Structure 1
Amino acid sequence: MNIETLPIDAVKEYDRNPRTISDAAIDAVAKSIEAFGFKIPILVDADNIIIAGHTRLRAARKLGLKDVPTIRADDLTPDQVKALRIADNKVASLTSWDMELLPIELADLKGVDFDLALLGFSAEDLAAIMAPAGNEGLVDPDDVPAPPDAATTVPGDIWVLGSHRLMCGDSSKPEDLDRLLDGQPIHLVNTDPPYNVKVEPRSNNAIAAGLSSFTATQRKDASAGDQQSADLHRYPEKSKPTHKKLRAKDRPLANDFVSDQEFDRLLAAWFGNIARVLIPGGGFYIWGGYANCANYPPVLKAMELYFSQAVIWIKEHPVLTRKDFMGNHEWCFYGWKEGAAHRFFGPNNVPDTWSIKKVNPQSMVHLTEKPVELARRAIEYSSRPGENVLDLFGGSGSTLIGAEMTGRRAYLMELDPLYCDVIVHRWEKFTGRKAERLPRRVWPKRKPRHASRLGARRDVCLTRRGSAAGRRSLRPSRGRSARRCPRGHARSGSRRSSAPGRRRPPARGRSTPRW
């Protein structure tokens, strides 16, 4: 079998080729030829008409090649040529990938920094193939550990939990989100921000301990209807302690009791951060209350986040309130980022009401704790395995567990260090693995503002002698003493203050020197 190089214009396509060829296929083959060379010749008949290799010929034309390698099958009859042309395409489609071995091979190539895009797989296909397998977990997915007495996490910490990341940071700050994502795109957002409905702690003991979200003035004004749940003015007995034990869920939520103007600012910052990192067409599930049906949509629209519809969570366990009707549902604002067709992978005709039993109030660890099934359903409907899911308000970590169970990568932000510890311990207990905290950033120590550049670190500006900073030391500096501080004031070691070894008498009527 001889390989014959022919001018590209001498090779002819079969005008009745039953196989369609997409532009994506031509691009993939062209990249392969560029990377590896033209290693598979084109099969032609005696008249240089292609039997197998139409895509390779078009890729060669796209690359501007002048010649192409061919193999001539001049021993076949016209009928055999027709049969081979069909069989060559059909037989290839009968094979399939071994999905246990293929990820191993791809991982080996990725480990040597090989460009996997040259293999012809789309980015979505690669993400799905190489995604970690779903994990059903060692414990109940809704099992949440109690917060520790003292937090291990400090603001700014980033935890790596398998393929997931958690940061103790502020969701309104772009710099914090950039540190968390480390350049990764987001395919889906599932998050539960504060609703600004001024939820009082559910325990009388928490209110008596001063953990209420409201000031005394706000409580007095509660009768005006400004806060939906601040009913201490009408029911003063609510502020009396009932028992000593303080439940974790009685910790008030940050940013849940701000003014309307401040909440609008926070919404713009939160939703703006979402729009900045979410891919066009990427879906979002933003949980809220009925009180948010007026303030969420305008901000979403301003950030080019298309609000499509509301998904209603039926809790199957009404919440006891002092209102006329018990709350038995919660809203979710569903939509996607504008700029591309939205991505939805759920079944057809999914109802917009999800009946999922809420977490037992007696076992809740976080005030807004939600069942993992809510996050899992959103993740499976609007993302593929291996893709990235963002939750700007980590809470108790339900989105993380949902991502772990479905083979996605979760990126969580949580402001409260105690609940960062809860999320870490919850994941460790669920998976049996250990999370890793990234090394903290060490900042160089800065010299005191009034320290002398000549070594007089103990000198004190005379004008600050009576202040806390000025009382740190009254000893003169060693060696040469700077005559003036950077503000132009005399120092305690300066000759202008007094002669060496002598002190001025105290001013009349004063118990301490005036210098």
Structure 2
Amino acid sequence: MTNPRGRPQQRLAIVYRPISDFKPDPTNARQHSQKQIVKLAQSIELFGFNVPIAVDTELNIISGHGRLEACRKLGITEVPTLCLDHLSPAQRRAFMIADNRLTELAQWDDRLLAQQLKDLSLAGLDFSLEVTGFDMGEIDLRIASLDEPPERDDDPADALPELPAGPPLSKEGDVWLLGRHRVLCGNALDAAAFAVTLGAERAAMVFTDPPYNVPIDGHASGLGAIHHRPFTMASGEMDSTQFTAFLGPDIPQPCVIQPRRLAPLCLHGLAACRRAAGGWSRRLWRAEKHLRLGQGQ
């Protein structure tokens, strides 16, 4: 008998050995929690020791560190072993990793697993289903999921409408009603736009991030590797008075936000904040020492 590489296939023999003879490998990267060892012990106690421990000729453990700890917990003194003397030292180390890692690459068929757990739960077992490694809470949730309709790959709700061939239909002043949400096509500098958007309601929270009136091109460039386009307005061309006036509509006013509500502001215009903050009872400032653009800020 040969393996796929044409080499003679090693015939493995099971030999029972005292667990006191084994030498756990200190370089084993797989860590076993006490919870897992308890579950392994429960499995061995119910099903028996069905997976031999793999060792080398010096009885160093290659595979089975967790099972060995479970045996010690159960008071088992002798277990079946397989001697992998056909592996080189490098192959033994690689197999130790592969034996743990390759099982992680498999996936459960959730519905089949749930059905099997349900069938077992109805079989009048004389042992706990937790011996499978799943906690009862997760077992209950998986069984309950069988009552939910399976997901469809062709759900009509997922279909996107075709884009119209003509020009965009939205124009300034349009308010789009998206369920509970309202989106205005308008000018954020126009205070009247907020009245159109909100109507008689007031926002529970306002988050605004207007331009900082600092130069972008040549200044925020990632050491020359990245180039950002300057903002259309407030990109370093305004003086203090102009910038304060520019920020006016971006500061949440009493007509926009409910009393005693949060209004995070990302801006540099302290004067505009102070002018608009007359009715605010709390102000929390965060000082940014450097200009940073992008999602990493």
For normalisation by structure 1, the TM-score amounts to 0.26
Higher RCO structure (Cα 8 Å, ≥6 apart): 1
Higher strand fraction (1 or 2): 1
